[in-house]
Every structure is written in structure tokens, then in C-alpha cells.
Structure 1
Amino acid sequence: MPNQDRLRVSAPGRICLFGEHQDFLGLPVIAAAINLRFTIAGTPHDEPLFRLRMPDLGTEVSVPLPTNGELKYQRDRDYLRSSLNVLMRHGRRPTRGYDCTFRSTIPINAGTASSSAMILAWLRFLLATQGEGECDGLTLACMANRAEVLEFGEPGGIMDHVTCSLGGTLYIECRDPVQWEALPCPLDGFVLADSLTRKETTTVLAQSRCDVETGLATLREKAPEFDLQHTSLEAAEEYLSLLPVHQRRKVRANLVNRALQREGYALLKSGRVDPDRLGSLLTAHHQQLSEGLGVSTPKLDRMLEAAIAAGAKGGKLNGSGGGGAMFAYAPGRQEEVAAALEAAGGKACIVQLDEGVRLEEFAVGSPC
């Protein structure tokens, strides 16, 4: 008689509304989960391994069940194995093999948290194989951040993991301990577009982080009263002259973006969103990312201009930059803006906000 056990989990991608390139500095961000999702479906078998089919990539990989300590990594950023290792450090050791299929509608390597969504879905799947029907979302996010970022010394922050795990629109304090707040604003009208320009996420993030953190360290040394969390932009201007030009520009951009995030938070928390104001704040944020931090591209800038010309209220690049995706905020004009973004050379998709990690199908016998 065939085994009827089955599991299916999914995790969303995300857009970052405010605070791009700031979570790794410990500054707050505002991000939202979207209805493009990474899905893992699986059934158990008797072999001591996970067989993972990835039809979107035309490949299949196998990962052994850990039997003798932690798994050795086979490649850089070996997220499948790092997730298992992190899970075991939390006292959970999978003991049953599964045939799994990985599928995703999230653009890959485009700044929409595809890797974070995969890791979250994989961790949630592994927990479900051990009979865990309930799971704390923030704990799952911290495990995913460990498996993706901390385990490999990567430069990213925790925004993606918290947003994709918990879902909705979130204000996230990206300091230890992480704190978050669900924002009740009903947002609609987003159009996501992949520029189809591939990027090196870790390279872009590392360079941005290095320049900004070096500049901040210099400021703290020469002006101990400077505080990234609290010193106003106006008060900071006198300190910025102490920095080399390229560091000065990037630190100032982060201070401007900090102010934009605070205004965006007040707007979204009020529950009465002015679309014109929200759009202008998003565009102002993009301008700092492009001109201040230098992480946009000419194509992303042109795509945003095309979206606004077609009726979008505003928008910004999404993710680390250097290629990848952007989104436009275009309530009531989604179709027209999507067409304009396609004409500008992107691959556009109208998206809605969505919930976080989901256990969609759960019928598991004994994990032993």
C-alpha cells in the first residue's frame, strides 16, 4: 500500500519599501511580502537522503541525512546543508528521507529574496518532517539568517528572513534582539519588474557596507558624539566634512534614507495612506540609492522613469541593486505601468501583498 504521507510548504518573496541597504547597519526597515512564492512539496521514502528535484533549473541534487555530526559544505553558500546544520544546533535532527520538488515564481538573483524564501521553505519543510505543525515565525527567521548570512560571513542583514517568514507589511528593528511591528495599512498597486540584468548581490552589498561602515567608524573616532541612530541629518552635516568624498556621499545617503524611512513609517502606521506622498517618498529613496550609494543602474533608472511616465506614483530599485529588480507603486494604473516596464526592457508582474511562510499540506506519520 503506498505511503500517503505528504508535505507542502511555501514562502513569499518580498519588496523593501524603506530602509534599503540599512538593515545591516542596524537601522529599521519597512518591507512587505508578495504573492510570488517558493514552494517545496515532498513525500517520504526509505533511503537516508533528500532527493531534491528543481525543474525550474533543470537539475536534481541529493543531500544525505546527517548521521555523524554536521554536514560538510560542498560549495560556497551551500544553503541546503547549512540549513540542516543550523536545525541540528537547535536540537532537531531529521531521520527520514524525502523526495522533494522545488518550484518558484520568485525571480532568481533579482533582489526579491529568492534565496531567503528557499531557505525558509526548506527549514519549515524539515521541521514539518518531524511533526511540527506550528512554528514561531521569528525563530524561523533567525535560523534562516544564520543559515544564509552568518554561517558564510555574508554581508546581508535579517530583513528578508523576517519579512518572508512573518508576511504582510512590517516595520523591523534590525538590531539584536530583532523587533517587528505589523503595519495595518492596506496597500495595493505594486508592479514588480526584473531588469534582466544579472547582479552579484554579495559583491554589491559588501562594497556598500564596507564604504559606509568605514565612514561611520571614522566619524565615531573623530566625533564620538555622532550616533547613527539618533544624530539628525542637520547636526551630522558638520561631521560629514571629516570624511573622504565617496564615504561622505554614502553616509549622507544613509542618513537621508533613515529620515525617509521614518516619514514612511508614520504614513503607513496612520492607516490613511496618501498615494501621492507614498510614491514621492519611494522615488526619493531610489534617488539616494542611485546617486548617493551608487547601487542603481542606468536601466533601472530608465525603468522607473518609464513607470512614472505611465502613471505610477513612484517606485525604487528592490534589493541590493547593481541589476536585478525594481518596483513601481501604481494604484489603478498597474496594467499600463506593467506594459511600460516591459517596453523599457524589463519583465513585469503585477503583485499583491501576501502572508508569510505557509504549511499548506501536512499529513505526516511518525518521524521515526
Structure 2
Amino acid sequence: MTAPLARQFADGFGMSPALVVRAPGRVNLIGEHTDYNDGFVLPAAISVESRVVAAPRGDGVIRVMACDFGGATAQWPLDATYAADPAHGWADYIRAMTAAMSARGHALTGADLAVSGTVPQGAGLSSSASLMVGIGTALAALSGLAIAPADIALMAQAGECDHVGVRCGIMDQLASACGVRDHALMIDCRSRAVRPVALPKGVEILIVHSGVARGLVEGAYNDRRAQCEAAAAAVGVSALRDADMAMLEGARLDAVTLARARHVVTENARVLAAAEALAAGDLVAMGALMAASHASMRDDFRITVPAIDALVTELQALIGLEGGARMTGGGFGGAVVALCPADSADAVLAGLTYRKPDGSPPLVLRETACDGAGLVMS
């Protein structure tokens, strides 16, 4: 991807780029809607990614070219207050990242940026977090700033929450910024501690896109977060991370709020167990935890859709006991993640009969865990 992107940069801006950055997407193996509840998640960075080609400017202006949108361009001064631009909506996440970095007090140089990506949008694989982490990594390097990857992740989260309007947790950004090859990341979303967990030898990550696109801002994501906050307040804790089932059952919550909170409490326990299962190479235990996670998202959190449920059921049957499948991402469409032995992945995919709503075969990604964002050296 780098050579064509660099050529587009040179053609569009009339100069050679100074640097290239890659920032991976992520797949969450287990732990959905626990991150903004100060809980636990277990994602992995994957090979689909955003790339940012960049060169500095001396006038304090950010100029961006979207190579995946026909070379469309947008620009704004770094000292401008963030405002969504309906004429260039694709640039809103980039504007949000520059605003978040400036708000944190970082003295950024102006920049010419060309961006492109391979993260499927609407799949629940964090295309927006990947883009923002890539932009932050590129601008830090251009500006001569030594910013820790976790801090870039925090600014990307702030930009998405404060400006774009998705009240997301920190998982997506930390996974993109801090990924470790061949490892999942056990993330404590309260302390933001990140612990790599080695994936079992010979395991393959399969990601199958349902073909049902997601829209977190327009969807019910923010509603679910509000329900979780209401449950925490009723129980008397700062976040559902601190609640248990006895506390929930004693709080006289209405049925809907109780169900939402039950998902978070039980999902946190599943994440902790899943990290132990992966570390022990126990795909049978991991598969059972993935199945329970999907059932909880379907029945208690109500964020799956019939197409996703059908896809998960078929993948679970094809994989059998050694591994499993579940919806991944914020919900209301998107992708399914599966784990299985690499030597059985061909047979699993050959047996898959699921078709997208338009009747075409689904997009399938065969992945291993990769490193987090950084400069591309060649």
C-alpha cells in the first residue's frame, strides 16, 4: 500500500513525503461494552490498517487527502475550534484528533497528510480508532514529540467522545496503539494497564463480516452506555466494574436495566477467564466462553441482529468444541470473530454457507495478531 499512497501524496501535494505510519485495526476476542464500564477486554491488533503519509508544513495548517475517496481534500488551521464539516465528513475523525492533541497542549506542526486504509468500515474492527491513532502517531513524529502510544490512544478516545459524538471506551485505541505480535492484549480499562497474552500456537483468527453495516453514532450505543451508568448509580458504585450479581439483584432495577448490567458483570468475569484459557492453550474453554458472551450480547444487552446470530451459530457448529465464535464490536451488525486450530480453518471456511443480505458471500479475513502503530521503515 505504501508505494501507491506515496505516489498519490507526491502527485497531490507536489513533494515527497517525510514519513509513513501504519496503525492497525483490532478485533476484540471477548469483552464487549465492558470498556466504558471500567472493566476488562481482550482484543488483538490485526493486519488490516490505516496508513498515513505525511510531510510538515510551516503555516500551522492541516491539509488532508483521502486516497480512498478519489483524492478528496480538506484543510483547516490547527488553532481552529473543532467543527464537523458536512462537505468533508470523512475528515471529521482527523479534525477531532488534531483538536484533541492541541487541547492536551501538544505543539503540533502543520502537515500535509494522505490517508488510506484496509480496515473494512462498519465491521466493528475499529477503522476510526485506527485512523485517529495513525494521525496522532504521524503528527507526533513530524512535530518531534515523544508521546507514549498509550497517550496517543487516550487523545484518540477523547477526540471521538468529545467531538465526533461516540462515547466510546479506550479499548479500540489502546489495541491499535499498543498491539503485540502473536499476542492478545488483556486491558484493564480503569487503570489502562495492558498485559500481552500469548495466543496458543497454531490458532487462527477468522473474521467474517455479516454484511450488515453498523452506525454507532446513529445506533443505540450511547443508549446502552446511559443504561449502564444508570445501573451503576442505582447500585451505588462508580462503574459496573465494581458490581456483582448480588448487588444488582438487590437494587430493584427495572428488567431492562438489570439485563444490561448483568451482561457487563458476567462479561467481565468471562474476560478474566478467557485470558487464563488462552494462556493455557485451552481452546475448548475459550470456545465455551465465546459462546456465553454471544448469548449474553443477544439476550441481555440486545445488540445482535438475526444475520449475526445465524452466522455465529453456523461457525460454532463448523468449528466444534475446539474454539468458538461470537459477534465482535459494538453491535447492531458488523463482524463475527472465531478462533480455531489453523489446520481446520480451511475446512471451516469451505463449509460456510452464510450469505450477506444481498446474497453474496461474506468478506473473510484470516488473521494473526500484529504489532501496534508505528513508523513504516521501508
RMSD (Å) for aligned C-alpha atoms = 2.7
2:184 is equivalent to residue 174 of structure 1: no
The residue that corresponds to 1:52 in the other structure is 64
SS in 1 for 2:141: helix
Conserved in 1, the CA contact under 8 Å of 2:38 and 2:188?
A: yes
Distance in 2 separating the partners of 1:227 and 1:82: 26
Distance in 2 separating the partners of 1:93 and 1:339: 53
The residue that corresponds to 2:206 in the other structure is 191
Alpha-carbon shift at residue 69 of structure 1 (Å):
5.1
Conserved in 2, the CA contact under 8 Å of 1:300 and 1:326?
A: yes
Distance in 1 separating the partners of 2:133 and 2:118: 15
Aligned partner of 1:348 among 336, 356, 364: 364
Question: For 1:183-219, what per-residue CA distance to the aligned partner results, in whole angstroms no more than 9, with x for missing partners?
Answer: 2344631111111111221322112122232233223
Conserved in 1, the CA contact under 8 Å of 2:24 and 2:50?
A: yes
The residue that corresponds to 2:347 in the other structure is 336
Alpha-carbon shift at residue 28 of structure 1 (Å):
1.6
Distance in 2 separating the partners of 1:38 and 1:305: 31
TM-score (norm 2): 0.83
The residue that corresponds to 2:271 in the other structure is 261
The residue that corresponds to 2:132 in the other structure is 119
Distance 1:97 1:247, change over 3 A: closer
Larger displacement relative to structure 2 (273-282 or 57-66): 57-66
Alpha-carbon shift at residue 92 of structure 1 (Å):
3.3
The residue that corresponds to 2:5 in the other structure is none
2:19 is equivalent to residue 7 of structure 1: yes
Alpha-carbon shift at residue 90 of structure 1 (Å):
3.5
Alpha-carbon shift at residue 96 of structure 1 (Å):
4.0
Distance 1:237 1:43, change over 3 A: closer
TM-score (norm 1): 0.85
Runs of 5+ in structure 2 lacking a partner?
1-13, 357-361
Larger displacement relative to structure 2 (153-162 or 294-303): 153-162
The residue that corresponds to 2:307 in the other structure is 299
Aligned 1:1-368 pairs, distance under 5 A: 5-43=17-55, 49-66=61-78, 68=79, 70=81, 72-75=83-86, 78-98=92-112, 100-132=113-145, 135-168=147-180, 169-175=184-190, 177-186=191-200, 188-202=203-217, 203-220=219-236, 228-233=240-245, 235-236=246-247, 238-239=249-250, 242-268=252-278, 271-311=279-319, 313-331=323-341, 332-341=343-352, 343-345=354-356, 346-361=362-377
State the identity as a percent: 23
Distance in 1 separating the partners of 2:21 and 2:149: 14
Conserved in 2, the CA contact under 8 Å of 1:307 and 1:340?
A: no
Alpha-carbon shift at residue 131 of structure 1 (Å):
3.3
Q: Give the length in aligned residue pairs.
A: 349
